[in-house]
């Protein structure tokens, strides 16, 4: 079975603190995606990696987040200075390649910013 791992499952930060969450993609998958989901609703694309290289990201990520994939088996998403609006479920997914391939999702990291 496909298994994308995310840690931690829950993260509580105070406003202004730094946050970091990790994702272990499915073995052999070259594409990694990060999404933000607020209030169990819309999936908001954050950043996409192909073979560990970031190929696309939204402006919010460029400005306030840090995201890297130091190896094919580990990616991380960080928030430099947490804000209340960052409270959300952060989902990581991986796929064999981009486009029409199935994305396999991890369980997510639920971030609460107080």
Summarize as ranges the residues that interact with other proteins (CB under 8 A): 4, 31, 33, 40-43, 45, 48, 50, 55-56, 91, 93, 98-100, 102-108
Closest CB to other proteins among 14 and 41?
A: 41
Strand partners, 79: 19, 65
Neighbours of 1 (CB within 10 A): 4
- Distance between CA atoms of residues 89 and 91, nearest Å: 6
Closest CB to other proteins among 51 and 71?
A: 51
Q: How far is the CB of 112 from other proteins (least distance, A)?
A: 16
Q: How far is the CB of 68 from other proteins (least distance, A)?
A: 18
Task: Assess contact for 11 and 21: CB atoms under 8 A.
Answer: yes
Closest CB to other proteins among 69 and 91?
A: 91
Closest CB to other proteins among 42 and 59?
A: 42
Q: How far is the CB of 108 from other proteins (least distance, A)?
A: 7
Q: How far is the CB of 15 from other proteins (least distance, A)?
A: 26
E strand spans, the chain: 5-7, 10-13, 19-24, 31-37, 43-50, 53-57, 65-71, 74-79, 88-95, 104-105, 109-113
């Amino acid at each position: 079975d496909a298994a994308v791992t995310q840690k931690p499952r829950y993260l509580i930060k105070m406003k202004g603190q730094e946050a970091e969450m990790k994702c272990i993609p499915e073995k052999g998958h070259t594409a990694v995606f990060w999404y933000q989901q607020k209030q169990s609703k819309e999936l908001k694309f954050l950043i996409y990696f192909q073979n560990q290289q970031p190929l696309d990201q939204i402006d919010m990520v460029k400005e306030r987040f840090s995201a890297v994939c130091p190896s094919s088996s580990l990616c991380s998403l960080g928030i430099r200075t947490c804000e209340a609006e960052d409270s959300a479920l952060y989902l990581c997914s991986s796929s064999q390649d981009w486009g029409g391939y199935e994305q396999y999702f991890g369980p997510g990291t639920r971030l609460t910013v107080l």
